[in-house]
Amino acid sequence: MIEVTGLSKRYGPKLAVDDLTFQVRPGIVTGFLGPNGAGKSTTMRMMLDLDRPTAGAVRIDGRRYTDLKDPLTHVGALLDAKALHGGRSAYHHLLCLAQSNGIPASRVGEVLDTVGLTAVAKKRSKGFSLGMGQRLGIAGALLGDPQILMFDEPVNGLDPEGIHWIRNLMKSLASQGRTVFVSSHLMSEMALTADHLVVIGQGRLLADTSMADFIRTNSRSYVRLRSPQQERLRDVLHQAGITAVTAGNGTLEVDGAGSEQLGELAARHQLVLHELSPQQASLEEAFMQLTAGSVEYHAHTEPASPASGPGWGAPRTDSGASEDRGSTGGGN
Ligand SMILES: Nc1ncnc2c1ncn2[C@@H]1O[C@H](COP(=O)(O)OP(=O)(O)OP(=O)(O)O)[C@@H](O)[C@H]1O
């Protein structure tokens, strides 16, 4: 398991990671979420000793990363798929990694096969597409058959088949009892992959909880009802002490009562229902709700117009102007 304790990282005036404490457990996929610039990559780099913490510590199975013998056999990581020696073939890139980590050369062919790159094994990686580079990075992470795996944005650049493959790979690695820690901005994908979530915003821990609890705690759940006898239904609900809110499309929304209770109530009063559906917010909605206060880089739906605005280059006066990096979405 990975244990992060009081971890902080300061870059000049910027506190990129602020006193993070959490554990990543084996046997499940743990998703690592946060808005742009929240500190995810910095945290992962510190986990792998690629960046020195300003304070705090990371332990991998009770030891510091630098104290691990042949670290790739303990921890496999994909942090930056572009961090490759472009002149080397995929095969030689992996062979160099294997030789410097006491891993048998026979593993190279196995992992190339696992990630589907056998046919291009002898090609130089500088000609690889983004998706092929991701696959090669994942092959490198798997090379030492480690118990702990970390992936920073692993589906970046992958096509739908590749995304599906990554999802199944992570689940199967976790089901073998391994520790899988993965960051992603693709919420729909994370919702299908992760069992547990660690969420950070502006370097601070916002949530460390199961996927189900995270969605339940950070979003509204309700039951949607539609009936041709809406007025009677509303009266019946009111008499039962249940508040219903009229929504669009002739539907009623009810908080605080389950669909079983509502269905039985309607049946007792012989009311026809055309819809009785529990509504649960998506991970994306729950994530946006939780992180709303810690998003640093806000884009704007409407592009600024030279005619209506204060003029190109003039200081903006709307909220968040000082940190705003415009509609490119910021990043680093
Ligand atoms: N080497 C560095 N020097 C200075 N500042 C840095 C450095 N690395 C990261 N930062 C800053 O630290 C903060 C956290 O960055 P980090 O890349 O860890 O965030 P992230 O959550 O991975 O973001 P994203 O989702 O956009 O990849 C940002 O404000 C970033 O600009």
What are the sequence ranges of the domains in the chain? 2-217, 222-279
CB of 38 closer than 6 A to ligand 1?
A: yes
What one-character-per-residue DSSP string does 192-231 give? HH-SEEEEEETTEEEEEEEHHHHHHHHS--EEEEE-TTHH
Contacts of 134 (CB under 8 A, 6+ apart): 78, 81, 154, 155, 156, 157, 158, 162
Pocket test of ligand 1: the residue of 11, 20, 328 to mutate, having most ligand atoms within 8 Å of its CB, is: 11
Residue 264: its pLDDT value, please? 96
How many angstroms separate the alpha carbon of residue 43 from the centre of ligand 1?
9
CB of 42 closer than 6 A to ligand 1?
A: yes
Q: Has this prediction a pTM greater than 0.90?
A: no
CB of 41 closer than 6 A to ligand 1?
A: yes
Residue 227: its pLDDT value, please? 94
ipTM over 0.90? The verdict is: yes
How many angstroms separate the alpha carbon of residue 203 from the centre of ligand 1?
9
Closest CA to 187 of 281, 293, 64: 281
Which CATH fold would you assign to the domain 222-279?
Alpha-Beta Plaits (3.30.70)
Closest CA to 153 of 125, 201, 190: 190
Pocket test of ligand 1: the residue of 187, 199, 206, 332 to mutate, having most ligand atoms within 8 Å of its CB, is: 332
Residue 302: its pLDDT value, please? 64
Rounded CA-CA distance 276/278 in Å is: 7
State the angle between helix axes of 160-175 and 130-142 in degrees (0 to 180), rounded to the nearest 10.
10
Map residue 140 onto helix, strand or coil: helix
pLDDT tens over the chain, length 332 residues: 999 999 999 999 999 999 999 999 999 999 999 988 999 999 999 999 999 999 999 999 999 999 988 888 999 999 876 666 667 788 998 999 899 888 999 999 999 999 988 988 888 877 788 888 889 999 999 999 999 999 999 888 788 888 998 999 999 999 999 999 999 888 888 889 999 999 999 999 999 999 988 888 887 788 999 999 999 999 999 999 998 999 878 899 998 888 999 999 999 999 999 999 998 878 888 888 888 876 766 666 666 655 544 444 444 433 333 333 333 333 33
How many angstroms separate the alpha carbon of residue 227 from the centre of ligand 1?
51
What one-character-per-residue DSSP string does 273-293 give? -SEEEEE---HHHHHHHHHGG
Pocket test of ligand 1: the residue of 42, 206, 323 to mutate, having most ligand atoms within 8 Å of its CB, is: 42
Nearest residue (by CA) to ligand 1, atom 11, is 16
Length of the chain: 332
Nearest residue (by CA) to ligand 1, atom 3, is 11
How many angstroms separate the alpha carbon of residue 120 from the centre of ligand 1?
33
Which CATH fold would you assign to the domain 2-217?
Rossmann fold (3.40.50)
Strands of the 2-11 sheet, one edge to the other: 14-24, 2-11, 55-60
Nearest residue (by CA) to ligand 1, atom 5, is 11
| Ligand 1, atom nearest to 332 Cα | 31
Give the pairing of strands 29-33 and 251-254.
unpaired
Q: H helices then E strands: how many in the chain?
A: 10, 13
CB of 53 closer than 6 A to ligand 1?
A: no
Residue 220: its pLDDT value, please? 78
